Amino acid sequence: MNERQADLRAGYAAALSSLQTGTYSGDGDIIDFSWYDSISLLSTVLNTRMFTIQVGQASPAGVIKNPADTNMVAAGQMPQGNKMYVNAIKMLYTSDEVRTEAEYIEIGKLFEQTVLNVKIQGKDTYGQWCLNEIMGNAFHGVIEPSTAGDNETPFGISRFHGIYPINLPIVLAAQTSFSIDLQHYTAPSANLDGDKIQISLSGILERIS
C-alpha cells in the first residue's frame, strides 16, 4: 500500500467513525438543557432562595416538590459528573386567577420591584437583574377608555419575552453550590398570593455517562 492509499484509508476510517457518533458517546453527553425551579408568591415573604429544594423534598410551606415544580436532583448543588454553561435566564409567570386591570398593574410593579441574584457559595453575586429586564417589560401601563364606562385596557411592550440572554456564560462546575435569590423591595400585593414564578437556567450541560 502506497502513501496515497494509506491516506485515503485513514480518511474513510475517520468518516465511518464520524457516522457512529451521535448525541452521546461512551464517555458522556453534551446537551441543550435547563435546570428550573418555581415558587408561589406570598405577600408576607420578601426574600426567597430558589434551587435549594430537590424533587421529593418539602418546601418551607410543606408542599412536596414534584417534577412540575423543579428538576433539581441535588439540593442547591450541581450533581456530581455534571457541568453547566448557563447562557440564558428564563422566567415564566403563571396566574390561575382572572385578573383585573389594577392587578395587572400590580404584576408590573412586582417585576419592577423584585431583584434576581445568581449566588455561588463563597462568591459575590454572579449576576443581578430586575425581573422587568428579564421579562423584557420595557413599558407597562393602562389606557384610559375614550368612552366613560368602558373598561380600561392594560398595555405593555416586551422585548425578551421571558428569555434573557447572558453575554458571558455562568459556569457551574460539578458539586458547585448555587442558588437564585429573589428579593422584593416592595411587598407583593396580597391579591397575587399563589401566583407562580418559575426560573430556568438554560444552556449547555456536559455530563459523564
Confidence of residue 156 (pLDDT cuts 50, 70, 90): low
Q: What is the pLDDT of residues 101-113, one digit of tens each?
A: 788 889 989 999 9
Q: What is the pLDDT of residue 93?
A: 93
Task: Give per-residue burial for 168-206: e unless 16+ CB within 10 Å, then b.
Answer: eebebebebbbbbbbebeeebbebbeebebbbbbbbebb
Model confidence, pTM: 0.81
Rg (CA), the chain: 23
pLDDT band at residue 19 under the 50/70/90 scheme: low
